[in-house]
Amino acid sequence: MMYEGKTTRVALIGTGFVGTSYAFSLLNQELVNELVLIDVNKEKAEGEARDLNHGLPFGAPMRIWAGDYPDCKDADIVVIAAGANQAPGETRLDLIDKNTAIFKTIVSSVMGSGFDGIFIVATNPVDVLTYATWKFSGLPKERVIGSGTILDTARFRYLLSDYFNVDSRNVHGYILGEHGDTELPVWSHATIGSRPIMSLIKDKPEAKEDLDALFVNVRDAAYHIINRKGATYYGIAMGLVRLTRAIIRNENSILTISTLLEGEYGLDDLYIGVPAIVNNNGIREIIELDLDQTELDQLHHSAKTLKEAMKPVFQH
Ligand code: NAD
């Protein structure tokens, strides 16, 4: 569907903190030729397009404009970052009603354009809204992807790299589950330079306590940041561009995204964060890790929490 030399278009819906940080990061990575900005606040989208365009002489040629839903027709990817964000003290699941209602309109407008590409969803609660996008759009599950725990996994790798003083790109480990309060770390498969982290700290009980605290900082990172600056956006923006690159460049990259489970991990009929291989068809394959019993129980608890939260909206 997408290849070098062809015009590639991303349509971004929602030009708030997350959307515009994504746009700025996309512009700097020279990944696509066209970026259309869509927001219910048209003035905001227009202002952002002008500002971004003024950076082009310092980067590479690209067409950026404030547009509308018909522009989604020729988009390879539609990224949705529209809707309410968490106020201080609010959980992601508290946003379910308002953002599902917004998504009904957005997704039907995108599909009304004739769009036939891949959706990337970032709006919270992201697992629920990706499920909603899949249902409302009627697209195959492979082509509806949520950012899931892509950011949480990045936070995990960054904090571990800081703790062990090793480049975060050499730290491998995943956060699975809800992008939210019930997510879990997969310690049984976390490694640095192929060495399992659990073996590295085997005889150091204080290090285990440090790592437990480190995970709490991963899980609660959004609260810590929102209390200090009102919103989080740079990390997720980089994660969304990473996902865009895996799709556009057909990278077959393993990323922890939100995808529909149909029996994997003993779960079905929900979108939740797990590692998967991503290429230009969307999700190529879900990776089923051999979790230990505690991790599997935590994943099932996370899934149950999501399903409970979705019940009033989707009558599960
Ligand atoms: P924001 O308030 O800055 O921006 C939201 C934008 O959506 C605004 O420009 C608003 O006008 C627009 N909008 C609202 N309703 C719309 C509609 N019906 N159609 C088109 N546009 C509409 O919020 P933000 O900080 O950019 O956050 C956006 C979302 O991303 C939130 O739900 C937030 O929780 C989520 N988020 C997700 C992650 C993640 O890891 N997935 C990380 C950070 C934030």
Structure confidence by residue, pLDDT tens digits, 15-47: 999 999 999 999 999 999 999 999 999 999 999
Q: How many CB atoms lie within 10 A of CB 257?
A: 30
Which pLDDT belongs to residue 88? Answer: 86
Q: Residues 133, 162: one domain? A: no
78 CB near ligand 1 (under 6 Å):
no
Relative to beta strand 118-121, strand 77-80 is: parallel
Has residue 236 been placed in a domain? yes
User: For 54-110, what is each residue's pLDDT tens digit?
Assistant: 999 999 999 999 999 999 999 999 999 999 888 888 888 888 999 999 999 999 999
Ligand 1 centroid, distance to 99 Cα (angstroms) = 9
Q: Residues 34, 166: one domain? A: no
Range of the domain at 45: 9-146
Cβ within 8 Å of residue 209, ≥6 positions away: none
Residue to probe by mutation, ligand 1, list 12, 93, 109, 124, most atoms within 8 Å of CB? 124
Atom 4 in ligand 1: residue holding the nearest Cα: 16
Which pLDDT belongs to residue 139? Answer: 98
What gap in Å lies between CA 235 and CA 146, rounded to an integer? 15
Which pLDDT belongs to residue 5? Answer: 67
Q: Residues 276, 173: one domain? A: yes
The residue from 97, 123, 146 where one domain ends is 146
Q: Residues 55, 101: one domain? A: yes
Q: Residues 21, 45: one domain? A: yes
Residue to probe by mutation, ligand 1, list 17, 43, 85, most atoms within 8 Å of CB? 85
Which pLDDT belongs to residue 1? Answer: 44
Average pLDDT, the chain: 95
Relative to beta strand 34-38, strand 191-192 is: unpaired
Q: What is the CATH number of the domain that holds 275?
A: 3.90.110.10
Q: Residues 125, 175: one domain? A: no
Match 């703790």 to its residue by tokens: 163
Q: Residues 123, 204: one domain? A: no
Task: Report the percent of the chain where pLDDT is more than 70.
Answer: 98
Catalytic (active site) residue 189: no
Ligand 1 centroid, distance to 14 Cα (angstroms) = 6
pTM of the model: 0.96
Of the candidates 254, 260, 309, the residue with the CA atom closest to the CA atom of residue 121: 260
Has residue 117 been placed in a domain? yes
pLDDT at residue 135 greater than cutoff 80: yes
Ligand 1 centroid, distance to 87 Cα (angstroms) = 12
- 121 in Cβ contact with 77 (< 8 Å): no
Match 């997969």 to its residue by tokens: 186
Which pLDDT belongs to residue 2? Answer: 45
45 CB near ligand 1 (under 6 Å):
no
Q: Residues 137, 28: one domain? A: yes
Has residue 4 been placed in a domain? no
Q: What is the CATH number of the domain that holds 91?
A: 3.40.50.720
User: For 281-295, what is each residue's pLDDT tens digit?
Assistant: 999 999 999 999 999
Atom 7 in ligand 1: residue holding the nearest Cα: 82
Has residue 27 been placed in a domain? yes
Give the E-state strand segments of 93-217 in sequence order: 118-121, 144-146, 171-172, 175-176, 184-185, 191-192, 195-196
Q: Residues 123, 158: one domain? A: no
Ligand 1 centroid, distance to 126 Cα (angstroms) = 11
Q: Residues 109, 199: one domain? A: no
What gap in Å lies between CA 138 and CA 13, rounded to an integer? 19
Number of separate domains in the chain:
2
Which pLDDT belongs to residue 104? Answer: 96
